[in-house]
Amino acid sequence: MLTTPWQKSSYCGEGESCLHVAATEARIHLTESSDPTESILTAAPATFRTLLQTLKHKEPPRG
């Protein structure tokens, strides 16, 4: 069981489905508040950093 406190995304509004993050030195844990299975995605910090960098630099879809 994860004992690290969860933090809600600052982009989440009241009553919306929200992303929650819990971090330790060894792992980053993510969960989504409306997921009925309460699944948790866990990644090493370096892997999570790569994911964020990729998402930030991805070109938006062309319409």
Spell out the domain ranges in the chain: 7-56
Residue 14 confidence (pLDDT) above 80: no
Residue 60 identity: P
Percent of the chain with pLDDT over 90: 38
Q: Looking at the predicted structure, is the pLDDT value of residue 59 above 80?
A: no
Least Cα distance to 27 among 50, 45, 8, 54 occurs for 45
Structure pTM?
0.71
pLDDT at 28 > cutoff 90: yes
| Cα–Cα distance for residue pair 19/6, rounded to 1 Å | 10
- Whether the pLDDT of residue 1 is over 60: the answer is no
